[in-house]
Amino acid sequence: MTIDTLTAGALARNLVGGDVTDANLRRYLEGIPGIDAVGLEQRAASLGTRSIKTTSKAWALDRIIQLIDLTTLEGADTPGKVRSLVAKAMVPDASDPTTPRVAAVCVYGDMVGDAVTALGASHGDPDHGGISVAAVATAFPSGRASLAVKLADTADAVSAGADEIDMVIDRGAFLSGRYGLVYDQIVAVKEACRRADGSFAHLKVILETGELNTYDNVRRASWLSILAGGDFIKTSTGKVAPAATLPVTLSMLEVVRDWHRLTGQKIGVKPAGGIRSSKDAIKYLVTVAETVGEEWLTPHLFRFGASSLLNDVLLQRQKLTTGHYSGADYVTID
């Protein structure tokens, strides 16, 4: 369920102890205990060594597919490429009708209409068999634009039919301690996600963790994004290295766990960028299950932002079924 702006604002005021000002946010965020980096990395490494049995692997491969935001975010994207992406999202493996669909397709805002049209009757809630359309916005990937431009970018994508908005935070403002500015911009973008009927498109807040430098900054940015009303926190744009890593995602999951214990609200997490193999994706599934619980392994609470991951999952799935890998032409080239 999407968090509305009034509820988010009331919770934020309650937690920071007054109006959500720069000073109150700084006091609250900088009062959060620091992360033991060595301990975090050791726990992530330990979770990454867990093995699963063949029957569980079959379930895991299907679940990975169901959690993918199949993505194309290139300057050379065309309506034809988006239609091809949607066709693959709807029928990932034409030779196996039991293959599940992905959760969403993720495109630039000006491609949303093409994605919606191509999906047709398949456009809908991924928790009920549909495929959502996610759009990157707010001057993705840099975020270097005026607030007016960011809001227009968001509203345009929502009006074109985007179900989800992936926004980027102002990393420069965050790193210079201007937490109030980052908070206010997220709140404003969340309001721009409001549809004509009063409902909201889901808001995923991209932290761009590769530019935040420390786990403590990742934790603070995660808390700040949730306080401002983000429905998901997302690691990366995929345009900056390093992108998603298991320790960073673990630190974000721990924030989501603590927020749920504090408020009862469930916030989603989306690692994006650099997750290309089934083996790596399974590590993330294990980390989610062990940190926040298996109930988070649903499209409305966890996603993989990926373009090539689906191909490897399809190959592994076929190997599990037939005992051998298919040739290189078994999957489409992205």
Confidence of residue 8 (pLDDT cuts 50, 70, 90): confident
Confidence of residue 327 (pLDDT cuts 50, 70, 90): low
Q: For residue 204, report the phi and psi dihedrals to the nearest 5 degrees.
A: -105, 125
Is the pLDDT confidence value at 180 over 80? yes
Confidence of residue 334 (pLDDT cuts 50, 70, 90): low
The pLDDT of residue 287: 96
Which one-letter amino acid corresponds to residue 108? Y
Note whether 331 and 314 are within 8 A (CB).
yes
Confidence of residue 329 (pLDDT cuts 50, 70, 90): low
Active site annotation includes 170 = no
Confidence of residue 25 (pLDDT cuts 50, 70, 90): very high
pLDDT digit string, tens, across residues 65-98: 999 999 999 999 999 999 999 999 999 999 999 9
Confidence of residue 21 (pLDDT cuts 50, 70, 90): very high
Is the pLDDT confidence value at 51 over 90? no
What are the structural domains, with CATH classification, of the chain?
Answer: 5-330 (3.20.20.70)
**Residues with Cβ within 8 Å of residue 135, at least 6 apart in sequence:** 106, 107, 108, 109, 111, 112, 157, 160, 162, 164, 165, 166
The pLDDT of residue 221: 98
DSSP, residue by residue, 280-298: HHHHHHHHHHHHT-GGG-S
Determine the average pLDDT of the residues in 187-191: 97
The pLDDT of residue 5: 81
Is the pLDDT confidence value at 196 over 70? yes
CA trace torsion 322, 324, 330, 332 (10° rounding)? 100
**Residues with Cβ within 8 Å of residue 92, at least 6 apart in sequence:** 65, 99, 100, 101, 102, 310, 314
Closest C-alpha among 265, 260, 259, 256 to residue 233: 256
> Which among 88, 150, 204, 234 is annotated as catalytic?
234
Question: Residue written as tokens 């309650």?
Answer: 14
Is the pLDDT confidence value at 219 over 90? yes
HSE (side-chain half, CA atoms, 13 Å) at 27: 10
pLDDT digit string, tens, across residues 116-137: 999 999 999 999 999 999 999 9
pTM: 0.95
> Which among 93, 114, 153, 166 is annotated as catalytic?
166
Active site annotation includes 270 = yes
Determine the average pLDDT of the residues in 1-20: 86
pLDDT digit string, tens, across residues 93-112: 999 999 999 999 999 999 99
Is the pLDDT confidence value at 156 over 80? yes
pLDDT digit string, tens, across residues 201-216: 999 999 999 999 999 9
**Residues with Cβ within 8 Å of residue 122, at least 6 apart in sequence:** 90, 101, 130, 131
Confidence of residue 328 (pLDDT cuts 50, 70, 90): low
The pLDDT of residue 50: 83
Is the pLDDT confidence value at 1 over 80? no
pLDDT digit string, tens, across residues 267-289: 999 999 999 999 999 999 999 99
Instruction: Tell me if the bond preceding 92 is cis, omega within 30° of 0.
Output: no
